């Protein structure tokens, strides 16, 4: 019995290490479950709605829950990202229409430092609120794997559309207009 | 002192020696003045958060942005530690090359020394046992070995004499 003790310990350690490796790898992948639910029309509740995020250039904080009842377009961006620069005018133009319809864009600066994000906001004349997700925990709930990404949240707080690449054409305007007329 | 007690004492001495060396390292570091921060030094300790590569090898717009930010902080006279703290505040803990020591990340710090200590402990236990077994095997003839009878002994001597010249 004793002669098996050391091989058994070595085996247990090896199995433990493999389990750790498996756990780590399983948590590295991107989460595409939201995409599948939205595609099916089974709109998921927007995650992390209560999470308070710091407002860019201010000491205040804001959460998605604070905007409940509005149609919210979450745009995850970074100042160093070329596609984010390209879509900034589309977002700002859309914001001018949204504010008239109890709706707003919410910019989420991600993987970016605050001074660069603030410069980005100034350069592109952005008027919609922008928060910072320093830890990445807010966007992680949306399965964000990079920038830019855009999510449309309806008045009931559910994700009804998303775009995991640069906004192009009239996608944003066409998508959002479908939900603006819905009651809160 | 018994053999087991000697082994435990040696193991305890080794552990104490390792702990002492670890304790001495920061003391030695703090005795020297804080060096001026440099981009190459900091780059090796932080990650490009979007590409998940060490910043020193990362080539991406975000990596360039991060480098520019570090250069700005260096120009402001911040120390390496202040710059790293600043990077964590801006990009989150994922910017660190070595993960912070809490939660699941603790495995990174606990597992390697634990495996080393376990390996040394196994060697301490098994090596003397293997040596004892080998010595015993050499000292004792196999139990079923019978002495040669006179005829076989004579034939063996003859053969040895023939091959030995």
A131-154 tens-digit pLDDT: 999 999 999 999 998 999 999 999
Q: B108 versus A180: which is more confidently predicted?
A: A180
User: Is the pTM here over 0.95, yes or no?
Assistant: no
Residue A1 has pLDDT above 70, yes or no: no
Which residues of B have a CB under 8 Å from any CB of A? Answer: 49-50, 61-62, 64-66, 69, 89-94, 104, 107, 111, 115, 118, 122, 125-126
Extents of the domains making up chain B: 36-98
- CA–CA separation, A22 and A29 (whole Å): 12
User: Over the stretch A18-29, which tens digit does the pLDDT of each residue have?
Assistant: 887 787 766 665
Query: Pairing relation of β-strands A149-153 and A71-77?
Result: antiparallel
A47, A142 Cβ separation under 8 angstroms: yes
pLDDT for A120 equals 97
Cross-chain CB nearest to B64 (options A80, A136, A147): A80
CATH superfamily of B36-98: Cytochrome C biogenesis protein (1.10.8.640)
| Domain A31-180 bears CATH identifier 3.40.30.10 | yes
Contact A80 B65 (CB under 8 A): yes
CA gap A80, A84 in Å, rounded:
8
The string of DSSP letters for A15-49 reads HHHHHHHHHHHHTTS---HHHHHHHHT-PPBPTTT
Taken in order B13, B17, B19, B23, the sign of the CA dihedral is positive
pLDDT exceeds cutoff 60 at B22: no
Closest CA to B90 of B73, B106, B108: B73
Chosen for mutation from B83, B92, B130 (greatest number of chain A CBs closer than 10 Å) is B92
pLDDT, mean of residues A69-82: 97
Does the beta-carbon distance from A135 to B61 stay under 8 Å?
no
Residue B67 to residue B83: CA distance in whole angstroms: 11
Query: In whole numbers, what is the pLDDT of chain B averaged over residues?
Result: 83
Ramachandran region of residue B25, left (φ > 0), alpha (ψ -120 to 50) or beta? alpha
Residue A34 has pLDDT above 90, yes or no: yes
CA distance B39 to B100: 21
| Cα distances (Å, whole numbers) of residue A138 to A51, A143, B97 | 7, 10, 22
Is a pLDDT exceeding 90 seen at residue A167?
A: yes
Question: A72, A76, A64, A82: which is closest to A149 by C-alpha?
Answer: A76
Per-residue pLDDT at A52 = 97
Q: State mean pLDDT over B65-93.
A: 95
How many other CB atoms are found less than 10 A from the CB of residue B49? Answer: 25
Count helices and strands (H / E) in chain A: 6, 7
Segment B118-125 shows an average pLDDT of 89
Q: Which residues of A touch B126 (CB under 8 A)?
A: 6
DSSP per residue, B81-95: HHHHHHHHHHH-GGG
For residue B18, pLDDT over 80 is answered with no
Instruction: Give pLDDT, residue B9.
Output: 65
Is pLDDT larger for residue B28 or for residue B10?
B10
Q: What is the mean pLDDT of residues B12-35?
A: 59
For the stretch A101-141, pLDDT in tens is 999 999 999 999 999 999 999 999 999 999 999 999 999 99
pLDDT given for residue B141 in this prediction: 67
pLDDT of residue B143: 67
Burial string for A60-72 (b: 16+ CB within 10 Å, else e) reads eebbbeebeebbb
Q: Which of B91, B122, B126 sits opposite A113 (nearest CB)?
A: B91
Tokens 């199995």 -> residue: A15
Helix (H, G, I), strand (E, B) or coil at A133: strand
Judged against a pLDDT cut of 90, whether residue A30 lies above it is answered with: no
Check pLDDT > 60 for residue A75.
Answer: yes
């Amino acid at each position: 019995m004793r002669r098996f003790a050391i091989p058994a310990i070595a085996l247990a350690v090896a199995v433990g290490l493999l389990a750790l490796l498996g756990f780590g790898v399983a948590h590295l992948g991107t989460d595409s479950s939201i995409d599948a639910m939205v595609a099916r029309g089974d709109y998921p509740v927007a995650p992390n709605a209560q999470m308070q995020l710091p407002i860019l250039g201010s000491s205040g904080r804001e959460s998605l829950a604070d905007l409940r009842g509005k149609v919210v377009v979450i745009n995850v961006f970074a100042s160093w990202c070329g596609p984010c620069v390209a879509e900034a005018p589309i977002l700002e133009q859309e914001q001018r229409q949204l504010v008239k319809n109890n709706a707003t864009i919410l910019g989420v600066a991600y993987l970016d430092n605050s001074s660069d994000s603030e410069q980005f906001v100034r350069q592109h004349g952005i008027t919609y609120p922008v928060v910072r997700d320093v830890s990445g925990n807010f966007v992680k709930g949306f399965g964000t794997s990079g920038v830019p990404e855009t999510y449309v949240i309806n008045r009931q707080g559910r994700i009804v559309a998303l775009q995991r690449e640069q906004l192009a054409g009239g996608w944003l305007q066409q998508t959002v207009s479908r939900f603006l007329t819905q009651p809160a | 002192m018994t053999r087991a007690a000697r082994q435990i004492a040696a193991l305890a001495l080794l552990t104490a020696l390792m702990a002492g060396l670890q304790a001495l390292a920061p003391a030695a570091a703090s005795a020297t003045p804080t060096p001026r921060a440099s981009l190459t030094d900091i780059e090796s300790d932080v990650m490009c958060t979007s590409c998940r590569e060490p910043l020193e090898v990362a080539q991406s717009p975000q990596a360039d942005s991060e480098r520019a930010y570090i250069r700005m902080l260096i120009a402001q006279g911040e120390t390496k530690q202040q710059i790293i703290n600043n990077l964590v505040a801006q990009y989150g803990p994922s910017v660190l090359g070595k993960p912070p020591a809490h939660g699941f990340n603790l495995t990174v710090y606990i597992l390697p020394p634990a495996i080393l200590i376990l390996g040394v402990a196994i060697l301490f236990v098994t090596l003397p046992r293997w040596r004892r077994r080998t010595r015993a095997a050499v000292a004792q003839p196999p139990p079923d070995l019978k002495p040669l009878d006179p005829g076989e002994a004579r034939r063996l001597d003859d053969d040895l004499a023939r091959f030995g010249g």
